[in-house]
Chain A
Amino acid sequence: MDIFLQQVVSGIATGGIYASLALALVMIYQATDVVNFAQGEMAMFSTYLAWSMLNAGVPYWVTFFATVALAFLLGLVIERLVIRPVESAPILSIVIVTLGLLVIHNSIAGWIWSYIQKPFPSPFPSRPVHMGPIIVGAHDIGEISVTLIVLLLLFAFFRYTPVGLAMRAAAHNPVSSRLSGIRVSRMLMLGWGLAAAFGAVAGMMVAPIVTLEPNMMGGIQIYAFAAATLGGFTSPGGAVLGGIIVGVAENLVGTYVRFIGTELKLTVALAIIIIVLLVRPRGLFGRAVVRRV
């Protein structure tokens, strides 16, 4: 029983990581109806920026917020320069462009910072916390708290601010929104900026666990996809819960199902994605997309 509980708790911790990247994916999907295949790589790139700052002796929390701001700007610029020209193109063009962004970020990071793994510090104490028989790392608790804070901010932003409302409107019905005076393109730009900022938070929370290297996000992104698919691409809360479910499932399957172990991790994510898409394409908490023909 203790082993089971321990696995569930570490599953929740891993799930928190997936959830934080899934939030960024959902953010862009909400704002622009696009899945950004480069989300993970953009997060990795921002994390490298943070690493460079830390190396230059900037204190952690200054670096943290500076990186989030930089990532936000990067997201705005990418949307303006790269995504805007294909905004109304078929979905295939947009997918291809975000794949282009994926390989560019990956190779430029390798170019600048090399492919050697780099340790990345955690802002939380390294001493584990004992809760009865279960041991939890302080970083795990910190990272989940950060994810939940981001979720709350996101919820409040969409629910209570005029800009959030305008963004939802722009994604939902661009033509009507434009007619009522919302600058739709600017809303899309803002969506990319915010998603990049959330991605940067995810990257800085992940890096202490997996160590920083250009390919660190590959496996995490596919799990984030699984999380967002499971929770529903239209629901931020769903994405977080989806991330936690996926994280717990991954840990339990790895421990108890002998023939899968840890060697087929990515295959488990693949199976989750395909099963959810077949059984309930809108995810657990997503809203069904209704199209008029």
Chain B
Amino acid sequence: MSAPTIAVLVAAVIALVLPFMLSNFRLFQFTQVFIYAIALLGLNMLTGFNGQISLGHGAFFAVGAYTGAIMMDRWNVPYGWTIPVGGLLCLIVGFLFGIPALRLEGLYLALATFALALAVPQILKYFEHWTGGSQGIVLTKPAAPFGLPLSEDQWFYFVTLVVLFVMFVLARNLLSGRIGRALVAIRDNPLAAEAMGVNKALYKSLTFGVSAAYTGVAGALSAVAIAFVAPDSFNILLSISLLTGSVIGGLASISGAIYGALFIQFVPNWAQDISKAAPWAIFGLFLIVFMYVMPYGIAGALRLVWNRLTRPQG
């Protein structure tokens, strides 16, 4: 068995045992980690693999979360449906946003998405009839079905874990083949990629769509997990923390999404003990330091260490 396979198996065993070892609150935190990991995976695809900078992925997270919340609250749709619908809606929204984004190069795309991230809470508050305004929408946590002896938090932990697994397998298959190579080619040398017959416009806007869909699924899951949505939780800081997680985990990597998610879930918690303002100072510091010393993030550093250790001596 190769090392990555062993690592995945160990991680899977830990993930399956955790719900029976931890308190409900801790478990909820790990559910959040999985949710962030799905969103980060989407952002990694777009920014890491395809080189399109998005500072506004919090917007797609919000679309997913509100789609889920409105479906459950207004139309009594079972929560299971909200996840694919949230993803699908974001796929469409993301694809449509991706078309004008085609014309924007690096810096300008960053500007446009930054503006998008800033405007989201306002837009959500404006459509008060649907979104409940600044009060938000309160939901109920789903109970475990078929009389399974699991608490609500344990049950939803497993739901999220399954979704995460499916999304990871999909992403791996998508990125390790022809499509993945096309995305990287567009990032590294758009001109050469086009000369080789890669349809740049189609791939770029599709990547935007798929990336948004991942983040939308994460948003829908988070609406159920937290059982509450409000406009101010989808501010610019959400977008910045997603980007931070992406950078720290490792931009162009799949496993990096997990490391990044662990970081954005747990680091602010202990930083909060120092000062209310500290989490963001630490986020900022990590962003800058990582760009200097570990531009490929934790995933890249691990790969480097592993290669050093297993390199034949001589």
Contacts and interface: CB of A to CB of B under 8 A. Distances in A.
Contacts of A265: 122
A96 interface: yes
Interface string A86-115: 100101110111011111101110110000
A267 B288 contact: no
Contact of B53 (A92, A111, A274, A293): A92
Given A104-B285, A264-B123, A281-B108, A92 B47 contact: yes
Interface in A129-148: none
A100 to B, nearest CB: 4
B291 A107 contact: no
A48 B191 CA distance: 47
Nearest to B114: A37
B13 to A, nearest CB: 35
A82 interface: yes
Contacts of A229: 108, 111
A96 to B, nearest CB: 6
A89 B291 CA distance: 9
A71 B285 CA distance: 21
Contact of A273 (B51, B112, B292): B112
Interface of B: 47, 51, 53, 55, 100, 103-104, 106-108, 110-112, 114-116, 118-119, 122-123, 125-126, 191, 236-237, 240, 243, 247, 251, 275-281, 283-288, 291-292, 295
Contact of B277 (A37, A99, A107, A269): A107
B104 A277 contact: yes
Contacts of A273: 111-112, 115
B126 A96 contact: no
A218 interface: yes
B133 to A, nearest CB: 10
Given A101-B288, A104-B288, 14 more contacts: A85-B292, A86-B292, A91-B53, A91-B106, A91-B107, A92-B47, A96-B288, A97-B287, A99-B240, A110-B276, A270-B116, A274-B100, A277-B103, A278-B100
A293 B106 CA distance: 17
Contact of B291 (A86, A103, A263): A86
B130 to A, nearest CB: 15
B119 A270 contact: yes
Contacts of B275: 111
Nearest to B115: A270
A222 B229 CA distance: 25
Nearest to B246: A96
Contacts of A95: 53, 55, 106-107, 110
The 5 closest A-B CB pairs, nearest first, are A100-B287, A104-B284, A107-B280, A103-B284, A111-B277
Given A270-B119, A273-B111, A93 B103 contact: no
B115 A281 contact: no
Contacts of B280: 103-104, 106-107
8 contacts: A92-B251, A93-B291, A100-B283, A100-B287, A102-B284, A106-B280, A263-B122, A277-B112
Nearest to A274: B112
Nearest to B111: A225
Contacts of A99: 55, 240, 243, 284, 287
Given A92-B51, A107-B281, A270-B116, A100 B288 contact: yes
A226 B251 CA distance: 29
Nearest to B104: A277
Contacts of A93: 291, 295
Contact of A104 (B47, B55, B126, B281): B281
Nearest to B279: A107
